[in-house]
Chains A and B, each alone.
Chain A
Amino acid sequence: MLKYILLRGLLAIAVAFTVSLAAFFLLNAATDPAQAIAGEDATQEVVDTIRARYGLDQPMPVRYAQWLGGVLRGDFGESYYWHKPVAELVAERAGVTITLALAALGVTILIAIPLGAFAALNPNSWIDRMALGVAVSAQAVPNFWLGLIMIILFGVMMPIFPVSGDDTWRHFVLPAFVLGSSSVPAVMRLTRTGLIEVMGADYIRTARSKGFRGSALLRRHALRNALLPVISVLAVQLGQKFGGSVITESIFAINGLGRLALESILGADIPTVQMLIFVFAIVFVAMNLVADILNAALDPRIRIG
């Protein structure tokens, strides 16, 4: 078990650094950062000064090595746009995004699992068809559009929840719904198929014959096994929520990492973009690692095989 975790952990670290390498070369090869900072009509002299100041006159592999060395010491460089350490910027904004991502995951769980369970218990009924309809629609709805529709509905017609900012828990209700809804189809389908499979298993028949009915059967026997694969998928979905925060945060004016990402892209602030890509990749890889470990811990077949 320990060997399995270590192996997976090493792979995760290798993946995170490959991502940072790819992002570094793509971002730096596509543009001249010094020109971007100086502005389009800056003189060559100004551009050269900036290039020397930020060490941009070095060849790219050297710069990546410097960046990597900094990262290992916890130094992600200085923001071209805000003129302060990038790590500080990210630390200030991370809390809001973590809250949003967790709230979104909560929304996914609250909608997807009951819907999937009801659908599985009544296959081919109207509720099953409705659940499928919800899944198919949720997959096709543009996330940013759903956000704007929520703002139109709740901003003017039913002003129950605030539609902009991140001051109280009420501010998170609508963004969490929008961000969480995108994971509903995957989690709902998995709950449904898992539960249908489990309900046909021998031990459920045994439990039935022993007199278990209704919610006791569901809670104590069926759901426990059906939800095993769902738990690891939820971990993966949580990892994706961070990348997905870009759209939700910009629509609902939430001052988190997603909005920082959009602002730094529009400001050609490459060190900040670079760190955010790295952080999002690390979160994704870490969540996948958690999913792998949960899978192995909950299902001995994976551990041994």
Chain B
Amino acid sequence: MTQVENFSTTAPEEATPLTPGQLMRRRAMGHTGFLIGAGLILGLTLIAIFAPLIAPHDPFVQSLSSRMLPPIWSEGGSWDHLLGTDQNGRDYLSRLIYGARVSISIGLGAATIGMLIGVTLGVLAGYFGGWVDHGVSFLLTAQLALPGLLLAMALVFIIGPSIWVVICIIGVLHWTYYLVVTRSATQRIRNLDFVAAAAASGATPRQIIWHEIVPNLVSQIIVIFTFELGIAILAEASLSFLGVGIQPPTPSWGLMIAEGKQAMFYRPWLVVLPGFCLFTLVIGANLMGDGLRDITAPEGRN
């Protein structure tokens, strides 16, 4: 504050408008929700990337002699296994750390596939209108009516569960949000003067879409991507929990909850901890998405 006042004697703030980038950075630094969300996502991403360096043990190594060891806060806990071990004697902390890799990579993959489908359909429907728009709208209504979880479960079960199958199926079933937003944004942008100018100077629809429309959709797409990241992560966890997602021995948080379920009355942390990790990651994505939406909004909200 004091700095602004000092400068205002020589150069009033209105006289030197900030660039959009500077404005966004300033808004971001003042947005608590965004800072918390971005911090959580950054932290968990670093944990996922550097999992081999951070994890105290190999998450796959089983040991019959050290099955079901209690965590450090219980009686008999030791520093060697901070959060104890699971029913196969694997270090629980290490599995939780590696679980971040599974959740984040599936989330990123599925949100990207959904983005490719949704943005393509949205831009085409918004730009060409007419029967293209009607067709895409019908597809949207049908997709919304599909019981997504049920179909995803059936397809993963039939095709055979692997990490790529899970990514593709979740991605293919989660594109409606991208479509709705990019469609209406494209409809708005294509009536603006600079698009008319490009068309008048002889640009083809392909050039207009790539050079005039898509660059103006980027900030909205990033916002949706962040939300979809959280949705895809929860979808993967649900599938893995029900046994039709990631298969053992891969450490997926959803699968770990299913594995811990048998012993949850005696060792509740086996269920509580992976769920808490999921909660933290998804709330991080949602807070970051809310924040990005506020920051990139033209009028700027706080």
Contacts and interface: CB of A to CB of B under 8 A. Distances in A.
B246 interface: no
By Cβ-Cβ distance, the 3 closest A-B pairs, closest first, are A145-B275, A140-B283, A243-B147
B145 interface: yes
A243 B235 CA distance: 13
B141 A15 contact: yes
Interface stretch (A98-106, A199-207, A223-231, A275-283): A275-283
A62 interface: no
Contacts of A148: 257, 261, 264, 271, 275
B138 interface: yes
Interface stretch (B73-81, B149-157, B188-196): B149-157
Contacts of B200: none
A58 B243 CA distance: 32
B271 A152 contact: yes
A155 interface: yes
Most chain B CB within a 10 A radius of its CB, from A15, A137, A143, A246: A15
Contacts of B153: 246, 261-262, 265
B158 A27 contact: yes
Contact of A19 (B146, B155, B275, B279): B146
A16 interface: yes
B148 interface: yes
Interface in A130-185: 136-137, 139-145, 148-149, 151-152, 155-156
A262 B258 CA distance: 15
B39 to A, nearest CB: 15
A142 B242 contact: no
Interface string B249-265: 00000100100010011
B150 A277 contact: yes
Nearest to B142: A18
A10 interface: no
Interface residues of A, number: 47
B158 A31 contact: yes
Given A247-B149, A265-B153, A145 B141 contact: no
A109 interface: no
Contact of B155 (A30, A143, A144): A30
Contact of A152 (B243, B254, B265): B265
Nearest to B268: A152
Interface in B223-250: 230, 234, 237-238, 241-244
B275 A149 contact: yes
A284 B283 contact: no
A15 B141 CA distance: 7
A250 interface: yes
A268 to B, nearest CB: 7
Most chain A CB within a 10 A radius of its CB, from B144, B154, B243, B265: B154
12 contacts: A15-B142, A16-B145, A26-B155, A140-B282, A140-B286, A142-B234, A142-B282, A145-B271, A145-B275, A262-B153, A276-B147, A284-B144
B137 to A, nearest CB: 10
A136 B145 contact: no
A266 interface: yes
B1 to A, nearest CB: 22
A6 interface: no
Contacts of B150: 243, 246, 261, 265, 273, 276-277, 280
B238 A243 contact: no
B146 A281 contact: yes
Contact of B145 (A15, A142, A152): A15
Given A139-B230, A276-B150, 19 more contacts: A18-B142, A19-B145, A22-B142, A22-B146, A23-B146, A26-B155, A36-B158, A137-B279, A139-B282, A142-B238, A142-B257, A148-B261, A149-B271, A152-B264, A266-B243, A277-B146, A280-B150, A284-B144, A284-B145
A42 interface: no
A89 B237 CA distance: 29
B159 interface: yes
B90 to A, nearest CB: 20
B272 interface: yes
A253 interface: no
A36 B290 CA distance: 45
Contacts of B238: 142-144, 247
